[in-house]
Amino acid sequence: MATYKQLLAEKTRLEAQLAEVRAQEISNVIAKIQGLMADYDLTVEDLMPRKRRGRPATGAKKPVSGLPPKYRDPKTGKTWSGRGRAPGWLGKNPSRFLISTES
């Protein structure tokens, strides 16, 4: 069985070998990419994604505010918190639809 120092020496030797092989393969890959770019008349700008202008689109909507309702329609049970456009059922006298805050 190998000792700790022997294993460390082997690890160091393997890491050096890895670095050498990687550098060699990278140079081959770069040469292949340059050849393909020349064959197809590509530039670096063709490979880079274009930056888009404007505000990024988001799929998620803002959560609906958790305000308690202030008004309730007794016929349908629909409620309104008092924010945004007033519903049609509120009419000209909204005080009659107020929800009492007394418990």
pLDDT digits (tens, 9 = 90+) for 23-74: 999 999 999 999 999 999 999 888 887 777 777 667 666 666 678 889 998 8
User: Which helix H or strand E contains 54, and what residues bound it?
Assistant: none
Q: Give the whole-angstrom CA distance, residue 47 versus residue 53.
A: 19
Query: Quick one: which of 55, 69, 59 has its CA closest to 100?
Result: 69
Residue the block writes with tokens 């929800």: 99
pLDDT for 65 equals: 62
Q: Which of 47-51, 66-70, 77-81, 92-96 has the lowest mean pLDDT?
A: 47-51
Inter-residue contact 81 to 70 (CB < 8 Å): yes
| CA-CA-CA-CA dihedral for 81, 84, 87, 92, to nearest 10 | 90
Which pTM was predicted?
A: 0.41
